[in-house]
Amino acid sequence: MKNTPLPALVYFHGGGWVLNTLDMCEQPLRSLANKGQFIIISVAYQKAPEHPFPIPFDDCYETLMWVKSNAATLGIDPEAIGVGGESSGANLAAGVAMKARDSGDIDLKFQALIYPAVDESCSSDSFISFADGYGLTRKSMQWFWAQYLQKSSDRKNPYAVPIVAKSLTGVAPAIVITAEYDVLLDDGYAYAEKLRKDGVKTLYREYEGQIHGCFSLAAITPDSEKIQQYLADEINSLLAPHS
């Protein structure tokens, strides 16, 4: 039916909390929306270092609440909303999913985490193995974290550093995607395992031979389309019980 409300993904772009604009992710998000037949709201949150944590995080959460409140006007089913993002955007999505659980403001149906940045220590094996020469470097990621977390207390806040959460029980079902040659590979895997350990339905997939940013590299690799299709299919699978 033409007027039937659609599910929605509230999306937070990557860029180390410092870089990028909505235009940078428009093409892959258009592709994802068409593949999944759901609405995507892409969020222009404020950037560090001028606007460090919690400002970008608060922008993202407040936008999610705005989407819920205005769902009818937007043509969105308010009971079929999820969050997602890539890299630093996936960090924001993971934090937002935790706050949604803690506050009870909204029952998110999914969280889509594409090579998420969840551990500010940058000390995993993949950070050492792929520190240079694979796009995103360890040094760059350390710098990005320093721009975003400007208070020492931020490093103990799970909304800022999701891996330090005492419990993830009750957060939205998760889709976690990683790339083989990415400094964030081990972060994503560790977070998926933490989600599973805490009883959260979690779908995990690592893309072999790929680097950071592969979700948005359709002009370079056919795997981008495959990742987008996989994500669309799995989002719809998580929405299926609702529909």
| First-residue to last-residue Cα distance in the chain | 14
DSSP character at residue 123: -
Domains by residue range for the chain, with CATH: 6-239 (3.40.50.1820)
Q: Which residue type, as a one-letter code, is found at position 96?
A: V
Q: Which has the closest alpha carbon to 237: 208, 201, 207?
A: 201
Q: Among this protein's residues, is 87 annotated catalytic?
A: yes
Sign of CA dihedral 4, 70, 41, 157: negative
Q: Among this protein's residues, is 182 annotated catalytic?
A: yes
86: Cβ contacts below 8 Å, ≥ 6 apart = 13, 14, 25, 114, 115, 213, 215, 216
Antiparallel, parallel or unpaired: β 76-86 and 174-181: unpaired
Q: Among this protein's residues, is 119 annotated catalytic?
A: no
Q: Is the pTM of this model over 0.95?
A: yes
125: Cβ contacts below 8 Å, ≥ 6 apart = 186
Antiparallel, parallel or unpaired: β 111-114 and 76-86: parallel
163-197 b/e (C-beta count within 10 Å ≥ 16 → b): bebeebeebbbbbbbbbebbbbbbbbbbbbebbee
Catalytic, out of 77, 119, 182, 187: 182
Is 49 in contact with 150 (CB distance < 8 Å)? yes
Catalytic, out of 31, 88, 212, 216: 212
**pLDDT digits (tens), the chain, 243 positions:** 468 999 999 999 999 999 988 888 999 999 999 999 999 999 999 999 999 999 999 999 999 999 999 999 999 999 999 999 999 999 999 999 999 999 999 999 999 999 999 999 999 999 999 999 989 999 999 999 999 999 999 999 999 999 999 999 999 999 999 999 999 999 999 999 999 999 999 999 999 999 999 999 887 888 999 999 999 999 999 998 665
